[in-house]
Structure 1
Amino acid sequence: MSNSAAAAVLTTADLSEAIRAVRTLLGLADVSQAEVDFEGVISSPAVLAQVRDVLPDLVWWASAGKEHGSSEAGDDPAGCLPIRVYDWCRPLDRAEPFIAALGPDPAAVRWDLDGWPAVPEAGLEAISQKWAYLTLAVNSRDIYQEEPSQDHTVYVHARDRNGDQLPRVHWLAAQVGGRFTGRVEIAPL
């Protein structure tokens, strides 16, 4: 397993603005075989029902630990709230319905892209799938849902913190009207 540096490029209290930024970035990326991954913390039966309508085969476990309930054990998630949910390798069209189903609950949606294009006028070479990711943290200040918030943050992933990808991070931030402030989280891939 490798890690990437998830660089925050836009933070906003307006979820529609964050989604517009994601759509813009997806429009720049190669998404021919892209997938989307989900994780979050579900606290209410209403949000759970909405999320399960979007992702019926959701993997989950009780926030208090798997011994308090899990999908693996066949438990009823509604009786184990709050729960942590995970779903991987879904088609891109599942992302926005998942986000809409969340209500106030925190989550992260990560798009596994096929690559970022070359941008010769900015001196940027094409980036392969291994380093092309985009994450939207919804109702959270971080990608791990450890700091719930009413803000939403768009992250672009770079190879590492040593600066070789900073020009791309800055360029992508500019495309969505954001800016890289230096906030980076290490994200396992």
Structure 2
Amino acid sequence: MSNSAAAAVLTTPDLPEALRAVRSLLAVADSAHGEVDFEAVIRSPDALARVLDVLPGLDWWALSGDGHGSSKAGDDPAGCLPIRVFDWGRPLDSAEPFITALRPEDSAAVRWDLDAWPAVPEAGLESISQKYAYLTLTVNSRDLYQDEPSQDHTVHVHCRDRNGDQTARVHWLADRVGGRFSGRVEPAPL
């Protein structure tokens, strides 16, 4: 297992603004063979129904500490709220329907697994391969793991410090979306 560094480049209370930033970054990246991964804490019955429409068959388990409630046990997720959900390797076009299914009390991290961050010769940046080319949007959470619930949304770009270009690349990507590198970086096991 390897790690990347997830750098926050835009935090906003406006979900459509965050989605526009994600779309702009996807337009910069090589994402021809990309996939999207989901991790969320679902608290509302309405969001649960909508998420299950978007991602049928996803894995989940109850957050309660009593040891019951999971997709593996065949339980009804509506009777186990709040639940944590995971889903991996979905097509890129499933991301926005999932995100818009969430409610303010639900939090998520949606990660786009990209083919590469491109070379930017005018900025002195080499291409970054698939192994370190990710983009994450946290919804109603400041962090990747839904430990810091909030009413805003944060766009994180992932890259690896290769030839000292990480900070330059993060700033370059932030500039593409009208954001700025906040200095906040989280380790992201991949």
Q: TM-score, normalised by structure 2?
A: 0.96
Quote the offset at 1:131 in angstroms: 0.7
Tell me, yes or no, if structure 1 residue 38 matches structure 2 residue 38. Answer: yes
Contact 2:12 2:153 in 1 (8 A): yes
Question: CA offsets per residue over residues 62-113 of structure 1, 9 Å max, x none?
Answer: 0125822100111111111000000000000000000000011110100000
- TM-aligned CA distance change 1:173 to 1:71, over 3 Å: same
Match of 1:68 in 2: 68
Q: How does 1:150-189 map to 2 (within 5 A)?
A: 150-159=151-160, 164-189=165-190
Shift of residue 162, structure 1, vs aligned partner: 10
Matched with 1:14 is 14
Residue 21 of structure 2: SS of its match in structure 1? helix
Task: State how far apart, in whole Å, the 1-side matches of 2:7 and 2:157 are.
Answer: 5
Q: Deviations over 1:112-144 (max 9, x none)?
A: 000011111111111110010000000101111
Give the TM-score taking structure 1 as reference length.
0.96
Counterpart of 2:51 in structure 1 is 51
Aligned partners of 1:5 and 1:161 also within 8 Å: no
Provide the rounded CA distance (Å) in 1 between the counterparts of 2:138 and 2:167: 20
| Change in CA separation of 1:82 and 1:116 when aligned onto 2, cut-off 3 Å | same
Structure 2 unmatched ranges of 5 or more: none
Match of 2:107? 106
Aligned length: 189
Distance in 2 separating the partners of 1:113 and 1:102: 24
**How much does 1:164 deviate?**
3.9
Q: What is the aligned-residue RMSD (CA, Å)?
A: 1.5
Compared CA separation, residues 66 and 73, structure 1 to 2 (3 A): farther
Residues 10-52 of structure 1, C-alpha deviations (whole Å, 9 max, x = no match):
0000000000000000000001100000010001111100000
Equivalent residue, structure 1, for 2:128:
127
Identity across the alignment (%): 77
- Structure 1 gaps, min length 5: none
Give, as a single letter, the amino acid of the residue that structure 2 aligns with 1:159: R
